[in-house]
Structure 1
Amino acid sequence: MQARYRIAALIFWSSPLWILLTVLLSVLYGVKSIDIWTVRDALFQFDEGNVNHQIIMHSRLPRAIGAILIGAFLAISGALMQGMTRNDLASPSIMGVTDGSAFAITLCMVWMPASSSLEMIGYSFAGSVLSIVIVFGLASLLPGGFSPVSMAIVGTIIGTFLSSISAAIASYFQVSQNISFWYNARLHQLDPELIQLSLPFAVIGISLAVGLSRSVTILSLGEEVAVGLGQRTKWIKFGAVVSVVLLTGTSVALAGKIGFVGLIIPHIARLLTGMDYRLIIPCSGILGGVFLALCDVLARFLNHPYEMPVGVVTALFGVPFFFYLIRKKGGGNHA
């Protein structure tokens, strides 16, 4: 156990260094490479007439910060979902939560195109709630519906259905090009003002996740054990769902659908730190942010000089990992 705490402490204390290096890589490299001295000048002696300075301050730096935040949000959401449901396959993308958010944003863009950025975030939250209600509602109606594989299947079906309906609506109303941003997750189109608007919701979601971490650890041992230890499981689950909705809805509103971050990273954090969600949740946030930002850097070079959607890169890691979980663990409970 002491070794696990030492590893967690190492991750926490070294995180500023890893985050700084990741941001630096993201700012330096792309279709156009920029040297580190230009980055220094842009940060401390910004010149509006310098194109490189404009690229750094208005494109690459917000993109790097946004990628780290979104990766952290999705990873923490995945950790909460896996702990709450005791399901190794649970994640915002597998359970259809991100598709629900994107579906709501599609409806918003078609019927309420003048909506403000804050309203878009709100609709994204509503879509997350919708998909969670549908997935858990259908699972409750099926024999063995709450088993890990069944939940993953139901979530994938609902996610695919909502995604297909969104595509049909976008095509019919001829807004497919606008909607494609939320389905291809191109981080270079991140809106810095939207990042600022989303921060209060993210802070609430992360604070709630951290506050519930001890209870989620007990819940991950089984509901009967949690009840026996005096835990109010319904309120714990409700709080965890609220946190997932806030964090996933915010990430989709910022950059669209990005899969597998919430599936892969919590498993890595659990492998490094053990079963204590007081360590898993913050470690997932750190590792998830760095992972997505590095995937974004990699996406710039896989099809150089063109950029590949970051979701394609995360899928290159996520799909094999998903099949590994099914084969090795049967998607079973991690506790």
Structure 2
Amino acid sequence: MSPTAPAEPPVRGGRGRTVRAAGLVVALAVLVLVMLVSVWVGSKSIPFGSIWSVLWHDDGTSVDAVIIHDQRIPRTLLGALVGAALGLAGAVMQALTRNPLADPGILGVNNGAAAAVVSAIAFFGVTGVLGYVWFAFLGSAIASLVVYVLGTAGRAGATPDRLVMSGAALTAVLQAYLSAILLLEPNTFNQFRFWNVGSLSGRRADVLVQISPFVAVGIVLALLLARPLNVLALGEQTGRALGARPGRTRVLGAIAVTLLCGASTAAIGPITFIGLAVPQIVRALVGPDQRWVLPYSMVLSPVLLIGSDVVGRILNPPEELQVGIVTAFLGAPVFVALCRRRKLARL
């Protein structure tokens, strides 16, 4: 892309850079607060003063210290990482397809990961989250590659409509494969359903360590695409005239989505709504400039995910409601209300 190209569309509402930067700082503060609440709240009641003492002064041998360091902190950090990845993946996917209702699942990531996990359980006897991670990540990567190859076939090349149709077709095929395996293998269904519901519960620090490199690379790549995505929003021909390379932008965007959503889905299972609605809400707040949409989505999405996880812990103690269920119940009405009150934020 030419360095002199006017890559950024005008920002709606006249919000200045200072206001948006201040808003991002406030969002970061809210995220830190929600993370502290996540460490504090759980099936075992621990006073906040004890939490603070354990975080800074405890030797790590008490019961409270074991719960906090081995369970709640890894769970909270994983929620922050996965939430940031899903929000960023959703924002990139919507920008790539120029469709405000697009979701990372449009590339077949979720179903690709699910198909790989089912295959791992049914044919290789894999059990446990640590065993699922690599199969799920591989499945999501292959699914994204297949969608891109199908979407770019022919002289017309890759277009948003072709990518969407390719993703829908592959999703239907993978869903049929999942149904067949689960119906034929009841034992596979019993194991798969605990992963498929989407949960932060029981995820150890090992899972966080395994997915962190993939998510880190995906975050860096996605943020670097902010300016090219702004040019892409001006249209294919206009973008080319300004020196953009739409094909390269789509390839790099697909790689970023695969890394972000694939690793996250592999770690905690499919999580709906976050990648769909948070970027849409962000655009309604700060406008269509991807230089702001991407970081805002990366910060606000973990607020929703961790907050939903906390709500799931307190609804029916000592039992927990899985975070994938809570995000759907909390998020869907908000998104419907947003769509009814105003037009979808323009891309």
Shorter-normalised TM-score: what interval? 0.7 to 0.9
Specify the alignment match of 2:3 in structure 1. Answer: none
Q: What SS does the corresponding residue of 1:227 show, helix, strand or coil?
A: helix
CA–CA distance in 2 between the matches of 1:82 and 1:164? 26
Partner residue of 1:276?
289
| Contact 1:263 1:318 (C-alpha < 8 Å) held by counterparts | no
Q: Aligned in 2, Cα 1:135/1:178: closer, same or farther, shift over 3 Å? A: same
Matched residue, 2:53: 41
Q: Residue 99 of structure 2 aligns with which residue?
A: 87
Match of 2:273 in 1: 260
Q: Contact 1:121–1:249 (CA<8 Å) still a contact in 2? A: no
Q: 1:271-322: CA deviations, max 9, x gaps?
A: 2221111111111000011111111111123344421111122112443456
Query: 1:294 is matched by which residue type in structure 2?
Result: G
Q: How far apart, in 2, do the equivalents of 1:323 and 1:95 lie?
A: 23
Task: Give the superposition deviation at 1:197.
Answer: 2.0
Percent identical residues:
32
Within 5 A, what are the aligned runs for 1:110-259?
A: 110-113=122-125, 120-133=132-145, 155=167, 158-159=170-171, 162-163=174-175, 165-170=177-182, 172-173=184-185, 174-259=187-272
The equivalent of 1:296 in structure 2 is 309
Q: Which residue of 1 is the match for residue 62 of structure 2?
A: 50
Say which is worse superposed, 163-172 or 92-101, in terms of deviation: 163-172
Deviation at 1:188, TM superposition (A): 1.1
Q: CA deviation at 1:55?
A: 1.2
CA distance in 2, matches of 1:65, 1:52: 18
* CA distance in structure 2 between the aligned counterparts of 1:321 and 1:37, rounded to whole angstroms: 34
TM-score for both structures, normalised by structure 1? 0.85
Against the structure 1 CA distance between its residues 81 and 44, is the aligned structure 2 distance closer, same or farther, given a 3 Å change threshold? same
Equivalent residues in 2 for 1:27-38, closer than 5 Å: 27-38=39-50
Tell me how far 1:193 sits from its aligned partner.
Answer: 1.0
Q: Cα distance, 1:215 vs. partner?
A: 0.3
Decide whether aligned partners of structure 1 residues 37 and 328 sit closer, same or farther in structure 2, where only a CA change above 3 A counts: closer
Farther-moved stretch of structure 1 (208-217 vs 90-99): 90-99
Task: Measure, in 1, the Cα distance between the counterparts of 2:148 and 2:340.
Answer: 24
Structure 2 letter corresponding to 1:211: L
More displaced stretch, 115-124 vs 242-251: 115-124
Query: Residue 93 of structure 1 contacts residue 258 of structure 1 at CA under 8 Å; is this kept in 2?
Result: no
Q: Deviations over 1:216-247 (max 9, x none)?
A: 11112222221121111100000000000000
Normalised to the residue count of structure 2, the TM-score between the two structures is 0.83
**Count of residue pairs brought into register by the alignment:** 330
- Contact map agreement 1:4 1:273 (CA 8 A) in 2: no
Corresponding residue number in structure 1 for 2:77: 65
Q: Distance in 1 between matches of 2:114 and 2:63?
A: 34
Pairing partner for 1:20 from 15, 32, 38: 32
Whether the 8 Å CA contact 2:85–2:298 is kept in 1: the answer is yes
Find the aligned partners of 1:300 and 1:247 in 2 and give their Cα distance.
26
C-alpha spacing 1:183/1:197, structure 2 compared with 1 (3 Å)? same
Counterpart-to-counterpart distance in 2, 1:23 and 1:214: 31
Contact 2:89 / 2:256 at 8 angstroms: preserved in 1? yes
Give the 3 Å change call, closer, same or farther, for CA 138–327 of structure 1 in structure 2.
Answer: farther
**CA deviation after TM superposition for structure 1 residue 198, in Å:** 1.4
Q: Is the 8 A contact 2:54 2:60 kept in 1?
A: no
**Take 1:277 and 1:36, find their aligned partners in 2: how far apart are those partners?**
38
Aligned to 1:175, what secondary structure does the other structure show? helix
Counterpart Cα distance in 1 of 2:257 and 2:82: 13
Q: 1:296 to 1:117 in 2, by over 3 A?
A: closer
SS at match of 1:210: helix
Cα gap change, 1:158 to 1:21, in 2 (>3 Å): same
CA RMSD after TM alignment: 3.2
Report if aligned partners of 2:103, 2:275 keep a CA contact under 8 Å in 1.
yes
